[in-house]
A and B are shown apart, each in its own frame.
Chain A
Amino acid sequence: MAAVSGARWKRWLSLYLPLGAFVIGTLFPFYYMAVTSVRPDQEMYIPWNRPHFAPFWTLAPTLEHFALLFRETLFARWLLNTLIISVLSTAIALVCGLLAAYALARLRFPMGGALGSGIFVTYLVPQTLLFIPLGEVIRSFRLSDSLWALILTYPTFLIPFCTWLLMGYFRTIPKELEECAQIDGATRVQAMVRIVFPVAMPGILSAGIFAFTHAWNEFIYALVFLSSATNKTIPIGVVSELVRGDTFFWGPLMAGALLGSVPVAFIYSFFVEQYVSAMTGAVKG
């Protein structure tokens, strides 16, 4: 009996406590973001060492910061822009990635291996390596300061990922499935579209969720390619309109940060398993 309770005590100390501390540390910034977004201004700017200061909650919650966000900034527009850009760039990336992945995983052709490696390498190219010349390219295509600048450039980091993930997925689908369809008189393309793609649906969903959150997250291209207030995405709009010089409007900033995070967090919460499988699949290759 003593040994059992000793083991339980040890388990608390080595497992539950550190894990609990880690989770609290992980989630605290979001909690603080939420509290700040409903805290009235007169309560917010109190020096940290003043007594009777309760930073963890507020007894007079207000929606004033959210109201300001919609009244005095174009937040609703930014939300819409972010949504349009994320959905369209994800769709483009999924179509390109799906077709390319099928070719690379299933067809034999010269240079196939080299092309696969080439696509994998572009997956590793960080956005910050190319943003200046890419901005020039965007300008010469006359796409500057238009949503299309992002809709067309985001797929560059989404396609390699989708291709890589779906290639792995196609390899798990037995070839016999297609061969049966072809014996039954279907062409190769019909077998691909009617048999293989539907079976790959879970993989497509995983890739789509992952790509969508990536597109929603992107910052530097949006910062460099867009300039007018009506075209901004949420991260850019919040940072550029609610920070004036050295003055940070923390209430509206945190309200904007919260509202900008909720859609991805919401979608993510429905598809946690797909997201995790995409993430770990991308690593396994």
Chain B
Amino acid sequence: MPAPAESATPTALPKPAMTRLAAIGLGRFRRASRTERREWLLALILLTPALVMLGLFVAYPFVRGIWLGLLDSVVGREGDFVGLRNYVKLWNDDIFRRAAANTFIYTGFATSLKLTLGMIVALMLNNLIGWKRILRASMLLPWIVPTVLSTLAWKWMFDPTFSIVNWILYHLGFIRLRIDWLGGPVMAMGSVILVNVWRGTPFFAITLLAGLQTINPDVYEAASIDGANPWQRFWRVTWPLLMPVTTVVMLFSVIQTFADFQLVYILTGGGPANSTHLFATYAYQIGVATGKLGEGAAASLAMFPFLFLVVIFQLWYIRRGEGGRGSA
């Protein structure tokens, strides 16, 4: 820009070269900082709507939830400060302990099954020549249809007296007596996991397929020439190359499964005899159904430490990935 240069020239004449350079540098900094400041202002304006929404309806409720967990509030009464009494009460509550254990069992079994099945389906789809698009589209239906509505269909399929699943198994010769799918604690948990796997596998299959399609086929060819069999090709080539996608998909799925509510709410309602509760359904039962807001808030916040660890791991993993890409 000419203006600062002109103003610098007359005063600069008697000064040594170093000072002149410094003056130009300072001018440049001032100019840059003006556009910079305008850029900051624009960024602030653009970010405001999102930050206001997230502040009002995520950050504020979060803080309020921590506070609420320390009160003995019930619906219609503000409640008094009770310190950690809600948490102590939950810790000594057998149903809550059962719910906590269930949540980990549910998350562990469901996500590992989804990963295994999803990987198998993705590998098969990747080998398929025609039909890929139509199969992919129809496979995703469980994922897009409202979970509660498809879970109702499952509830009907698991009906103790009219179960179609029993009918099929009976006529295929697998069973002689009816299976009470949602009757006993173990069976009910298994059925809930089955429906979760049914709903979540497409997500794994489609995202892993997208990952598979980015792998250069030459790599496989090289591996076959080196005498690797399909099993070795998968574990030595595909699996490591797919690892970034797999990790992120797994982390997403772990968070969603861990915090699940709808499947259990519809299929078992936490029963029989409170044996299939998860954190979220039990928090709902305490906080909404019986109206003990403080205790309910504490029960759902009990999910936080685990979720926090997963998120930290995920952030670390993504950052690491970015660093790797930058240096490559």
Contact = CB atoms under 8 A, between A and B. Distances in A.
B60 interface: yes
Interface stretch (B90-98, B232-240, B301-309): B301-309
A118 B104 CA distance: 26
Given A19-B124, A189-B42, A235-B146, A283 B64 contact: no
A29 to B, nearest CB: 4
A190 to B, nearest CB: 12
B54 A160 contact: yes
Interface size class of chain B, counting residues whose CB lies under 8 Å from the partner chain: 35 or more
Given A15-B127, A124-B307, A285 B47 contact: no
Given A47-B162, A132-B68, A159-B50, A153 B57 contact: yes
Nearest to B209: A280
A48 B301 CA distance: 43
Interface in B5-53: 36, 39-40, 42-44, 46-47, 49-51, 53
B47 A100 contact: yes
A269 B137 contact: yes
B135 A120 contact: no
Interface stretch (A58-66, A197-205, A253-261): A253-261
Interface string A116-133: 010111101111111111
Interface centre among B144, B149, B163, B314 (most CB of A within 10 A): B149
A112 B58 contact: no
Contact of B46 (A103, A120, A160): A103
Looking at chain B's contact residues, the main secondary structure is helix
A22 interface: yes
A40 B144 CA distance: 28
Given A55-B164, A117-B315, A126-B255, A133 B202 contact: no
A19 B123 CA distance: 10
B10 to A, nearest CB: 32
Contacts of A250: 156, 159
Contact of A47 (B120, B161, B258, B307): B161
Nearest to B266: A239
Interface in A37-80: 44-49, 53, 55
30 contacts: A19-B128, A22-B117, A23-B138, A26-B142, A29-B157, A44-B162, A48-B162, A48-B164, A49-B167, A96-B49, A103-B43, A104-B47, A107-B42, A119-B54, A126-B258, A131-B300, A132-B300, A137-B60, A137-B61, A219-B146, A219-B148, A219-B262, A250-B156, A257-B150, A257-B153, A261-B145, A261-B150, A279-B203, A280-B210, A283-B252
